[in-house]
Amino acid sequence: MAGDRRGEAHRAPSSGGRSRPARFGGGRTTIRGPLWSGMRCGAVISGLVTETGRARLDIVDAGGGTGGFAVPLAGLGHTVTVIDPSPDSLAAAQRRAAEIAVPLRAIQGDVTDLPGVVGEQGADLILCHSVLEYVDAPSAAMAAIARVLRPGGTVSVLAASAVAAVVHRALAGRFDEARRLLSEISANSTGLAAQDENAEATDRPDSLEGPGGRGAARPRRFTLAGVVGLIEAAGLRPGAAHGVRVFADLVPGIFADADPGAADALLALERAASANPAFHDLATQFHVLAYR
């Protein structure tokens, strides 16, 4: 089956929503972290297929939840493992895989369990999307990911921005919350903000457990420098970063009602700003590729 999948490897998987969508104008334009990172991962997969000479890659989705990314990748002929602490999410992922008749390995566990599950240097590509915000120790999670990644392999990291959280709360009139988050960023030289006790429930992924589970009850926020520091501390090489939803979460939807072309214009603006380093920390999330 893998032999006839090579031409499909460049296609990005459909978004499977671990991050909250930003809607503009009643939902006419939706910009999702998974969609944005999926587009970049499609190019990464194509490159890895070319470099390795293998049409079937070994891919791990850490904290992969219900398989929104994993199942489409398995559908392209790759060998995909999802590891997640939630048995319900894993069961949903397996049902999703069964619906399109593709194999999917679903393992209950934490990100730090990866070396025992996948094996040292057992993966070509690892997805770490909206995961570092919830794990007990982000540095330990990234170190485990690095151990599993093969030489020449890639890690896709999607994380929530602490700077954007400050801006969003200030614009919403929640000035005390904004000041608290800002002070935590300033006090932490690693760029890792404390857990956000006022984050909405919809900010959480569909997988990692909250109170009483193995993940943090409320999400952490990061600066881009903080995530890059975690990547480098794990012995990996950070690549280019992109912002996700720089403006979309800030623009009132009423503008789209007044101007039918505004939604497309906003999407074009987002694409232009996403690669501009000046806007990375202002984005609701940022996406970073890292290499071994």
Residue 221's contacts (CB-CB under 8 Å, 6 or more residues apart) are 133, 160, 161, 162, 164, 165, 181, 185, 193, 196
Q: Categorise residue 43: left if φ over 0, alpha if ψ from -120 to 50, beta otherwise.
A: alpha
Q: What is the pLDDT of residues 41-56, one digit of tens each?
A: 888 999 999 999 999 9
Q: Find residue 128's DSSP bridge partners.
A: 62, 157
Strands 58-62 and 123-129: parallel
Higher pLDDT, 13 or 235: 235
Most trustworthy range by pLDDT among 110-119, 180-189, 245-254: 110-119
- Residue 139, pLDDT > 90, answer yes
Q: What is the pLDDT of residue 33?
A: 47
**Out of 3-7, 159-163, 202-206, 265-269, which region has the weakest mean confidence (pLDDT)?**
3-7
Question: Read out DSSP for 4-17?
Answer: G-GGGTTSPPPP--
The per-residue pLDDT for range 140-182, each reduced to its tens digit, is 999 999 999 999 999 999 999 999 999 999 999 999 999 999 9
Residue indicated by tokens 């990911």: 145
- Cβ atoms of 285 and 159 within 8 Å: the answer is yes
Look at residue 172 and give its three-state secondary structure. coil
Q: Residue 289 phi/psi, 5° resolution?
A: -100, 140
How far is the C-alpha of 58 from the C-alpha of 122, rounded, in Å? 7
Residue type, 30: T
- Alpha-carbon distance of 184 to 155, in angstroms, equals 27
- pTM comes to 0.80
